[in-house]
Amino acid sequence: MLSEVVASAPGKVILFGEHFVVEDQPAIAVAISKRARVRVKPNDSGKYCIYSRELDLSEEFGLHESRKQSPLYPIVVAARAVENRAGVEVGLDIYIESEIPPSAGMGSSAAVAVATVAATSELLELNLGKEDISNIAYRAETIVHGKPSGIDNTISTFGGAIAFRKSEGFLQLEADFKPVKIVLADTGVPRNTGELVRRVLSLKEKYPQIFDPLYYAAGRLAVEAAKLIERGEFEEVGRLMNVNHGLLSAIGVSILELEHLVYTARRAGALGAKLTGAGGGGFMVALCRKEDTDKVARELEKIAKRVIVGEISEEGVKIEKKV
Amino acid sequence: MLSEVVASAPGKVILFGEHFVVEDQPAIAVAISKRARVRVKPNDSGKYCIYSRELDLSEEFGLHESRKQSPLYPIVVAARAVENRAGVEVGLDIYIESEIPPSAGMGSSAAVAVATVAATSELLELNLGKEDISNIAYRAETIVHGKPSGIDNTISTFGGAIAFRKSEGFLQLEADFKPVKIVLADTGVPRNTGELVRRVLSLKEKYPQIFDPLYYAAGRLAVEAAKLIERGEFEEVGRLMNVNHGLLSAIGVSILELEHLVYTARRAGALGAKLTGAGGGGFMVALCRKEDTDKVARELEKIAKRVIVGEISEEGVKIEKKV
């Protein structure tokens, strides 16, 4: 066993298809250059001692203890699953720090789970493949998120851009994202994802004649966007992000604060801008040519609660340090 | 021949389907309680002497004179067509005043044409039916608007609510609009309808896989809305107006100023709110329960260039006075 391992994994942004993905339409997510870092060390206490810098929270769990209400419990589940796989039972000190804003639809908890699995696996010299890391993180995620789509752990493990469809699974997109950056801006309005998803689905159920073709259009949009991404036609990708935003407005998940951010980004020169994630608050994402990024970020900073500039990152989970 | 006739005709608002109607999807328009009034008197000058209060413009035209660049020329064409039908050639004084904002997608010019035809027909005791009045006004409209859809002259002649589809024509909806009012708010941003329509169609042409189903969804939306209007389910009509607004955002014809008006109206209690007409500026329309109208109008007055409150009017063209 090693004495210390640090692993990191990226957050994600949905560029196309949130909400529509629930009804088996394709979606596209990308990894961003904001990462969660997890440091794992064996200890002699016979406990999992977890510390999260962002939550400013420190908790201890017995090796067999279940405490589902704790926000740190998914990390215990992730580490324990790796130990089970290795056939060992050791106490661990686990330190978490993350650049990914939590509860923002950016896959913060999946990135932590993925990095935890990777770091623990490396510590125990288990040599798990990425497929395994992603799957174990997914199962840990089910503790907090019910039955997540699997997008978050997949993108966090593999990095880059991924097309996803419920009935078909994942497809890694081959793309060169160097000419562009993304700017994320926070409305500061809290979201209630579950409530929003229910409201959208009840509208869809009431008017299938309208929403079946609308959802189909959203799916075709993601398919076209995937082709454009692979061809590097980011101007057109941006145009389709704008269309996607309108479809999200049509299903009722935009708010004035999101529109304000979206139109400000577009006017400042973004190639495209849309709400990202569940909507009803939360974040806007803008795709920008590298050279226009600063201007877009500056304009958004005047009105957003928080602005994050990042790249679309090829890099998935990785071991940063091992001792 | 009578010595003076005054006729009036209402303006219109598109509640569903603008833009999508161009590609043969159904649309719904309603007459509003804002009207154009036209007073016609025979004169001895052998000329058409036209005066428009809103344009603050007065011009004379010979009985056979063609002057297409004049904004008053369509009125000459309308009056002349009625005289031709009656087999007479007399000079006319024509006074126009209108409560309908011009160049706002509210059918101001069609209302003037319809009222001109009705007043002139009555003056000459020609007894034209509504169908004829509408058709003659339409032909006069083609002078200024190229090939308009025919929605404006139809709604202005017949009043009430009309469903329209290019390939199928018009259908009068049977509805009781007493429980609701409409509030119109002006962004103050000028529109360029022709340019917008071209941009939308070029996007549609580039991505038919996306926009064919999207347009189809917009058409089904108008069909569902027509049923709800006839059943008096205005809360649901409002919900679908919100969906329609999102689809208009998706095809790229909304702007921040429109979103600001739309969300302000919804938050103030409107049943639904959307841009109306070509977009890219122009007006927002909100549907309100009668009792909520004042509050919605008050909130909009804080941010709009101009707010107009009206009813949906059963009344089409009518003779107001004859001497």
The enclosing domain of B246 has a CATH number of: 3.30.70.890
Residues B277, B300, single domain; the answer is yes
Q: Residues near B232 by Cβ (< 8 Å), separated by ≥ 6?
A: B175, B176, B179
Residues A305, A318, single domain; the answer is no
Do B81 and B124 touch, CB atoms closer than 8 A?
no
Q: Residues near B158 by Cβ (< 8 Å), separated by ≥ 6?
A: B31, B130, B134, B172, B316
The answer to whether the CB atoms of B217 and A213 lie below 8 A apart is: yes
d(Cα A313, Cα B54) in Å, to the nearest integer? 59
Residues B161, B139, single domain; the answer is yes
3-state secondary structure of A5: strand
Q: How many CB atoms lie within 10 A of CB B267?
A: 13
B272-285 burial string, b = 16+ CB within 10 Å, else e? bbbbbbbbbbbbbb
**Residue from A200, A211, A214, A266 to probe the interface with B (highest B Cβ count within 10 Å):** A214
Q: Residues near A31 by Cβ (< 8 Å), separated by ≥ 6?
A: A10, A11, A12, A155, A156, A158, A159, A160, A161, A312, A313, A314, A315, A316
Residues B105, B215, single domain; the answer is no
Tokens standing for residue A98: 């993350």
Q: Is A152 a catalytic residue?
A: yes
Distances B235 to A264, B39, B232, B262, B270 between C-alpha atoms, Å: 32, 40, 9, 16, 9
The answer to whether the CB atoms of A213 and B210 lie below 8 A apart is: no
Residues B162, B232, single domain; the answer is no
Looking at residue A312, its pLDDT comes to 97
Tokens standing for residue B12: 């219109």
Tokens standing for residue A156: 């966090």
The closest of A34, A36, A16 to A306, measured between CA atoms, is A34
The answer to whether the CB atoms of A259 and B255 lie below 8 A apart is: no
β partners of residue A97: A37
Grouped pLDDT means (10 residues each) for chain B, 323 residues: 96 96 95 98 96 94 92 94 96 97 90 98 95 95 79 96 95 96 96 87 96 98 98 98 98 97 98 95 97 98 97 97 95
3-state secondary structure of A165: strand
The answer to whether the CB atoms of A256 and B260 lie below 8 A apart is: yes
The DSSP H or E segment spanning B95 is strand B91-98
3-state secondary structure of B73: helix
pLDDT lower than 70: segments of chain A: 144-145
A262-300 burial string, b = 16+ CB within 10 Å, else e? bbbbbebbbbbbbbbbbbbbbbbbbbbbeebbeebbebb
Residues A151, A166, single domain; the answer is yes
Contact with chain B for residue A303, Cβ under 8 A: no
What's the complex ipTM?
0.93
d(Cα A41, Cα A52) in Å, to the nearest integer? 15
The DSSP H or E segment spanning B213 is helix B208-230
Q: How many structural domains does chain A have?
A: 2
Tokens standing for residue B281: 């500026």
For chains A and B, count residue pairs whose Cβ atoms are closer than 8 Å: 105
Catalytic residue among A44, A132, A152, A294: A152
Residues in chain A closer than 8 A to B249 (CB atoms): 245-246, 249-250
Q: What is the CATH number of the domain that holds A83?
A: 3.30.230.10
Looking at residue A144, its pLDDT comes to 66
Q: How many Cα atoms sit within 13 Å of B70 on the Cβ side? A: 18
Looking at residue B144, its pLDDT comes to 66
The answer to whether the CB atoms of A214 and B213 lie below 8 A apart is: yes
Residue B134 CA from chain centroid, whole number: 13
d(Cα A72, Cα A169) in Å, to the nearest integer? 28
B185 φ, ψ (degrees, to nearest 5): -135, 135
E strands of chain A, at which residues?
5-16, 27-43, 47-52, 57-62, 91-98, 161-165, 169-173, 180-186, 272-276, 283-289, 306-310, 318-322
The answer to whether the CB atoms of B217 and A217 lie below 8 A apart is: yes
**Which residue from A minimizes the CA distance to B260?**
A256
Contact with chain A for residue B216, Cβ under 8 A: yes
Looking at residue B192, its pLDDT comes to 82
Residues B207, B80, single domain; the answer is no
Q: How many CB atoms lie within 10 A of CB B54?
A: 15
Residues B86, B163, single domain; the answer is yes
Residues in chain B closer than 8 A to A260 (CB atoms): 256, 259-260
**Which residue from B minimizes the CA distance to A253?**
B246
Contacts with A, B 122-141, CB within 8 Å: none
Residues in chain B closer than 8 A to A300 (CB atoms): none
Domain of A202, in residue numbers: 180-310
B107 φ, ψ (degrees, to nearest 5): 65, 30
Residues B68, B137, single domain; the answer is yes
Alpha-carbon distance B75 to nearest alpha carbon in chain A (angstroms) = 40
A241 φ, ψ (degrees, to nearest 5): -60, -40
Per-state percent for chain B, helix, strand, coil, to nearest 5: 40, 30, 30
The closest of B16, B314, B18, B32 to B174, measured between CA atoms, is B314
**Residue from A200, A245, A259 to probe the interface with B (highest B Cβ count within 10 Å):** A259
Contact with chain B for residue A250, Cβ under 8 A: yes
Residues in chain B closer than 8 A to A251 (CB atoms): 243, 246
Contacts with B, A 261-300, CB within 8 Å: 263-264, 267
A55 φ, ψ (degrees, to nearest 5): -80, -10
The closest of B202, B184, B198, B241 to B27, measured between CA atoms, is B241
Contact with chain B for residue A237, Cβ under 8 A: no
Q: Considering CB atoms only, which of B214, B260, B263 is closest to A217?
A: B214
Alpha-carbon distance B220 to nearest alpha carbon in chain A (angstroms) = 5
Tokens standing for residue A227: 């082709």
Residues in chain A closer than 8 A to B248 (CB atoms): 246
Residues B223, B93, single domain; the answer is no
Residues in chain B closer than 8 A to A237 (CB atoms): none
The answer to whether the CB atoms of A250 and B247 lie below 8 A apart is: yes
Residues in chain A closer than 8 A to B17 (CB atoms): none
The answer to whether the CB atoms of B213 and A216 lie below 8 A apart is: yes
Contact with chain A for residue B16, Cβ under 8 A: no
Residues A22, A154, single domain; the answer is yes
Catalytic residue among B152, B176, B292, B294: B152
B182-221 burial string, b = 16+ CB within 10 Å, else e? bbbbbbeeebebeebbeebeebbeebeebbbbbbbbbbbb
**Residue tagged 């008197």 (tokens):** B41
d(Cα A95, Cα B5) in Å, to the nearest integer? 87
Alpha-carbon distance A249 to nearest alpha carbon in chain B (angstroms) = 5
Residues in chain A closer than 8 A to B221 (CB atoms): 207, 210
Residues B120, B185, single domain; the answer is no
